[in-house]
Amino acid sequence: MPKGPIQGKEEDGPIDIEVFCVSFIVSYIMVLVTIAAVLYINPYWRQAWFFYIEMCFNSCYYFMVDHLPKQFR
């Protein structure tokens, strides 16, 4: 016999959405804190990371300069 809604609450499936969202947010914050801690502790990796970010910015800038029409420059 199929189960119906229990006192106005529907079953969404095997995953509780609220628990999933909270665990996702906590995991995301922990990853960001870990990356920040590693970059704070290790100066070589920090220098390499900032060099990589600078190269990405320069690449995006020159891509935009080369591909945008002159009226937007």
Tell me the per-residue pLDDT of 22-68, one tens digit each, with 9 for 90 and over: 999 999 999 999 999 999 999 999 999 999 999 999 999 999 888 88
What's the predicted TM-score (pTM) here?
0.59
**Tell me, what's the pLDDT at 26?**
98
CA atoms within 13 A on the CB side of 6: 4
Give the pLDDT band of residue 3 (cuts 50, 70, 90): low
Q: CA dihedral defined by 35, 41, 43, 49, rounded to 10 degrees?
A: 0
DSSP structure class, residue 72: G
Task: Please indicate whether residue 33 or residue 73 has the higher confidence score (pLDDT).
Answer: 33
**Tell me, what's the pLDDT at 45?**
95
